[in-house]
Chains A and B, each alone.
Chain A
Amino acid sequence: MNALKSAASYLTGQLRQIGLFIALIVIVIFFQVTTGGITLAPINVSNLVVQNSYILILAIGMVMVIIAGHIDLSVGSVVAFTGAMAGVMITQWHVPWPIAVVLCLVIGALVGAWQGFWIAYFGIPAFIVTLAGMLAFRGAAQIALQNQQISPFPEGFRSLGSGFLPAFGSSGYEPLTMILGFAAAAILVVTAFRGRATRRKYQLEDEPFAWFMTKLVFTVALVMYVALLLASYNGTPIVLVILGVLVVVYSLVMRSAVFGRHIYAIGGNALAAQLSGVKTKRVTFLLFVNMGVISALAGVVFTGQLNLASPSAGNGFELDAIAAVFIGGAAVTGGIGTVPGAIVGGLIIGILNNGMSILGVGTEFQSLIKGLVLLAAVAFDVFNKRRAASARK
């Protein structure tokens, strides 16, 4: 009885996380039913991954910026600008595409350094600086493209956005994807158990074993199911590999790198961080450099996927990325948020977009519904916090 009670209190403590997952599942099931099974069809799952990849990539950078208590409104324009530069470099200057990609990332870093300078060292609020960047880099993209679209791109460049890992076997389930799926599942299981063992060693474990197993079985099943779906279509999208690496690296950075910890410290209490010897200006500067590089990567992926560099590319991406981060549980005031949370938030937005498109819902209603979902998610957060605060009293 007592165990049950403590388990229940643990779960209410995790209400936000659980709620996020349940929301994701409910939305998937809803669309699976209403679209008559199209949502989870292998080709659609593959499309879902590919078509949302750049939002998810942006969400990773954005969650870090938001945890630090800032915001970046310029990412959509930076996507357009770096995509434009990729087009100019590859088709007009005939730069080999791998070099062009690297140069694009460097341009992203410079863009981030420019904005980071004004924010960190000059003290202009990020909202203003990146609003200026949103306008300026949109203009820069238009200038670079002379208001024309550029197309086509070489095969290799395109595959970054829409290609698949080389397939083995001609029919049935593609083995490489299955192997990757198994590997990912195995890594998940091992790290989960190791983490639990360490926490137990330090007597920090308060997660009921049953819940731990439920969560683990669920995630492993999800990974394997997605792998199965992908394997029965074209195999593993290259962009999924890129995304996977980013998620793993940045989760690690935010959890245990000194840099990531300083970001949380600044967002939680900038004055205290500074008086603890955190170089707040430098960290903020690097944060925006990082955001610039990530935006450039999203720009490359997006341009490759469309096989087109367009001056209007990336319009509104910043809003999707910001929405993903807040749906994923980040706090507007900074200090709170996680990379996996932002990814799940991004997936919710992606599935909403995808499902509503399949159902033929007009863009006006898509926008309306996305807005309401964002509001509901944050309202749930606020409600939760208040409940916790009043329970403490």
Chain B
Amino acid sequence: MPHRTAPPLRPLFQNGRRGARPHRASRSSHHARSRAQRKAVHVTDTILEMRDITKTFPGVKALQGVSIEVERGQVHAICGENGAGKSTLMKVLSGVYPAGSFEGEILLDGQPVKFSNINDSEEAGVVIIHQELALSPFLSIAENIFLGNERSKGGFIDWNKTNLAAAELLQRVGLKDNPITKIVDIGVGKQQLVEIAKALSKKVKLLILDEPTAALNDDDSAHLLELIRSLQAEGMTAIIISHKLNEIKAIADKVTIIRDGQTIETLDMHADDISENRIIRGMVGRDLSTRYPEHESTIGEELLRIEDWTVHHPLDGSREIIHQANLNVRAGEIVGIAGLMGAGRTELAMSVFGHSYGTGISGTVYKRGVPIKTNTVTAAIDNGIAYATEDRKRYGLNLLDDIKRNVSGSALGKLAKWGFVNGSEETTVARQFLKNMNIKAPTVNAVTGKLSGGNQQKVVLSKWMYADPDVLILDEPTRGIDVGAKYEIYTIINALADQGKGIIVISSELPELLGICDRIYTLSEGRITADVPRSEATPETLMQYMTQERETPVNERAQVRS
């Protein structure tokens, strides 16, 4: 396909109704400016400009005046910590958050656009490929490529046309498989390529890739980056969101860093010699304020130790998710696990807790130096281990039921005699938690589905506190809850440590780990890369360990395994 120049204006933007918008003045002034720029610098040509984007969710400002400018034919990377606002920005751009639900302006080819859904943005040539692939597993490659965009005649699909067109697209992305192959029968790397083929079928001019290599192995990643480069050579513009700084360094022309919902800076990867450290500094550079309660840990004997813990992917038994992890936690100690999305944090915790994740799990768990079995959730709980999930709605709570029954859920046996639960005692217990944890609900009979995120999290914590474990693994304990409730949760965590429990906190927020932990493990691609005491931990060092690549190259590892 030849490189498309700016398409003719869509009639939508020519009618008078649109012209009446207050942005009119700024738009025309922008026109003048960009025309002037184009004259001055011939090579640059802005395809996309997002101006002063502010997106507010109830209680949270996810984006505050973010601006970004993408030049035609370039690969533009967006970097930032988890939760910095990258995905929100892309959702604003692709119309997932419709025009009007945010403030600010999007200009595509110099023209303001208002997308009210994904179809709008795709029609305008902006296609996003999400981290979780959106392919239908039991349909063929060709069917997936043209899903919702079928090659049909009179309501019936023209299979020859479909498969032929699919084959052409597959050739463009370098995939040799037959278009009638089912998605389940090809690997994740190839699926990613199918997604790109699907995007190409939509006459894409701006391709957005959200963490495209997160689930890929090294070879597939390399192939994907190569493909992006060749598409770029054909004139495609791409925005790539990635945590893998080496990839960004290899492929991006420019990098925009977002932190706490604000644009920090845009670096030109060609102009200066930008190091990975330079990017890291931009991503984490922020002060630790007094958002964390003061706490001095009294550390005692070792409670839990995990040795040589290796876990494989539940569906793909040859893929290692966790590789020979070693860690320990002592009484009264708060230990953090830091890692980027996809590093295997949750997988590590859930595989320890009752083998709830993964297959081919090997390694040993020691409790006070004695090896224990944790292969079922019951065994883990009986051995004094608790795991509070990062996804409380999906894994943590029965949202249909009330507070008291959720609180008693994991230790119902403590309230029961002859198999029957003592309802009064249950109520008493739940009322105590309601009061001590400051759960804001009228009574313990309130249905948990109606509580706010912070209060739901407190119910989950109450449940595990009532089970009275020795070691608590808290996965993203403050995700999606407001600052005030966060402080309360930190206080609770400190109190639990003071009771002599060992606490493991998994978090995407480095400041949080630095604010509350005594020691922080960093996890990168399933490997524990460092064990950093609080005194030595800085955001920069942690980020370095978190992005550290495997030391052994791929083929060498294969030899070791075989």
Which A residues are closer than 8 A to B by beta carbons?
198, 201-204, 206, 252, 256-259, 261-262, 264-265, 268-269, 271-279, 331, 335-336, 392
Contacts and interface: CB of A to CB of B under 8 A. Distances in A.
Given A204-B445, A275-B396, A265 B409 contact: yes
Interface of B: 353-354, 356, 377-378, 380-381, 387, 389, 394-401, 405, 409-410, 412-413, 416, 419-424, 427-428, 431, 443-445, 450, 463, 467
Contacts of B443: 203-204, 206
Given A275-B354, A275-B395, 16 more contacts: A202-B444, A204-B427, A204-B443, A206-B443, A256-B420, A256-B421, A259-B419, A261-B421, A262-B412, A269-B398, A272-B409, A275-B396, A276-B377, A277-B377, A335-B400, A335-B401
A257 B421 CA distance: 6
6 contacts: A202-B431, A261-B405, A262-B412, A269-B395, A272-B395, A272-B397
Contacts of A203: 443
Contacts of B419: 257-259
B378 A279 contact: yes
A276 B421 contact: no
Interface centre among A258, A259, A336 (most CB of B within 10 A): A258
A204 B443 CA distance: 6
A28 to B, nearest CB: 32
Contacts of A206: 443
A269 B447 CA distance: 14
Contact of A272 (B353, B398, B424): B398
Interface centre among A204, A252, A273 (most CB of B within 10 A): A204
Given A271-B395, A335-B401, A258 B412 contact: yes
A268 to B, nearest CB: 3
Contacts of B387: 275
B381 A198 contact: no
Interface centre among A258, A269, A276, A331 (most CB of B within 10 A): A276
A331 B398 CA distance: 14
Contacts of A265: 398, 401, 405, 409
A196 B271 CA distance: 76
B313 to A, nearest CB: 19
Contacts of B445: 204
Nearest to B413: A258
Contacts of B381: 277
A275 B377 contact: yes
A5 to B, nearest CB: 16
B440 to A, nearest CB: 15
Contacts of B396: 272, 275
B450 A392 contact: yes
A273 B405 CA distance: 12
Nearest to A388: B450
Interface centre among B422, B443, B467 (most CB of A within 10 A): B443
Given A269-B398, A276-B410, A336-B400, A257 B420 contact: yes
A230 B157 CA distance: 68
Closest 4 CB pairs of A and B: A268-B398, A276-B410, A335-B400, A268-B400
A261 B463 CA distance: 15
A97 B409 CA distance: 43
B418 to A, nearest CB: 9
Nearest to A252: B420
Contact of B420 (A258, A273, A335): A258
Contacts of A202: 424, 427-428, 431, 444
A276 B413 CA distance: 12
A259 B198 CA distance: 50
B249 to A, nearest CB: 39
A112 B467 CA distance: 33
B459 to A, nearest CB: 11
A337 to B, nearest CB: 11
Contacts of A259: 419
A276 B463 contact: yes
A37 B8 CA distance: 80
Contact of A277 (B394, B405, B410, B450): B410
A79 B34 CA distance: 81
B356 A198 contact: no
Nearest to B379: A277
Nearest to A331: B400
Contacts of B397: 269, 272
A290 B521 CA distance: 49
Nearest to A279: B378
Nearest to B464: A276
Nearest to B431: A202
Nearest to A266: B398
Nearest to B444: A204
Given A256-B423, A258-B421, A274 B398 contact: no
Contacts of A269: 394-395, 397-400
A256 to B, nearest CB: 5
B450 A264 contact: no
B243 to A, nearest CB: 27
A278 B376 CA distance: 10
Interface centre among B387, B400, B445, B463 (most CB of A within 10 A): B400
Contacts of A336: 400
Contacts of A204: 427, 443-445
Contacts of B463: 276
Contacts of B389: 272, 275
B387 to A, nearest CB: 7
Given A204-B445, A264-B401, A274 B427 contact: no
Contacts of B395: 269, 271-272, 275
B351 to A, nearest CB: 13
B421 A268 contact: no
A98 to B, nearest CB: 27
Contacts of B354: 275
A275 B401 contact: no
Interface centre among A203, A206, A261, A273 (most CB of B within 10 A): A261
A206 B427 CA distance: 15
Contacts of A274: 356, 377
B482 to A, nearest CB: 19
Contact of B399 (A198, A264, A268, A275): A268
B263 to A, nearest CB: 33
Interface centre among B398, B399, B443 (most CB of A within 10 A): B398
A265 B409 CA distance: 8
A214 B443 CA distance: 25
A84 B56 CA distance: 67
A358 to B, nearest CB: 40
Nearest to B378: A277
A268 B400 CA distance: 6
A392 B451 CA distance: 11
Contacts of A392: 450
Nearest to B428: A202
A288 to B, nearest CB: 19
A335 B402 CA distance: 12
Contacts of A335: 398, 400-401
A228 B444 CA distance: 41
Contact of B398 (A257, A264, A279): A264
Contacts of A271: 394-395
Contacts of B405: 261, 264-265
A330 B419 CA distance: 24
Contacts of A256: 420-423
A269 B405 CA distance: 13
A231 to B, nearest CB: 34
Contacts of A275: 353-354, 356, 377, 387, 389, 395-396
A261 B401 CA distance: 10
Contacts of B428: 202
Nearest to A335: B400
